[in-house]
Copies of this chain bind each other. A is one copy, B any other.
Amino acid sequence: MALTLREQQVKLIERISAWLEQEDHVQPAVARVLALLFVSDDPELTFDDIRETLLLSKSATSNAINMLLQVELIEYHHRIGERKRYFRLRIFEWQMIYKKLMQKRLEFHSILREVAKQRTQKTPEFNQKILEIANHMDKVTQEMIRLLSES
């Protein structure tokens, strides 16, 4: 049976998922599943708890859960003697999540260095500027990653 959510819980789910959709371009159903795990009274929910509470189809629920598992934002475990999985947040390794975001930025800086190298040689100042910026952004990003590792 579906969980009964208080009005404030519903509102928070809306706020969280709106943020995730707009800022991180997380797809709606995925955002709502994640949000539900933040606000539900029980921090561990089953497939059907999620499906029934959010009024999603099985396929949408399955997809959303598998996406969240893949990016390691949630995890599951079994309770002894039970078949179904209990899903919960994994945000407690949030440094890892932030680190991944930073790593992605580093890739972009590499592309920029490639650009600086391959550009026409007729614009040396511009090329140099791109290279400097790539290196500078890279240094700062590395520093951020270090900062996260210490946390």
Question: How many subunits of this chain does the assembly comprise?
Answer: 2
Are A16 and B119 within 8 A (Cβ)?
no
Are B19 and A122 within 8 A (Cβ)?
no
Are B140 and A108 within 8 A (Cβ)?
no
Are B92 and A133 within 8 A (Cβ)?
yes
- Chain A interface (Cβ < 8 Å from any Cβ of B): 8-9, 12, 15-16, 19, 23, 25, 38-39, 41-43, 91-92, 94, 98, 104, 107-108, 111-112, 114-115, 118-120, 122-123, 126, 129-130, 133, 136-137, 140, 143-144, 147-148, 151
A to B CB contacts below 8 Å, 20 in the list: A8-B118, A12-B114, A16-B115, A19-B107, A23-B104, A23-B107, A23-B108, A25-B25, A38-B115, A39-B119, A43-B123, A43-B126, A92-B129, A92-B133, A94-B137, A98-B140, A136-B151, A140-B147, A144-B144, A144-B147
Residues of B within 8 A of A129 (CB): 92
Further 20 A-B residue pairs, CB within 8 A, beyond A12-B114, A38-B112: A9-B118, A12-B111, A12-B118, A15-B114, A16-B115, A23-B104, A25-B25, A39-B115, A39-B118, A39-B119, A41-B119, A41-B122, A92-B133, A94-B133, A140-B147, A140-B148, A140-B151, A143-B147, A144-B144, A147-B147
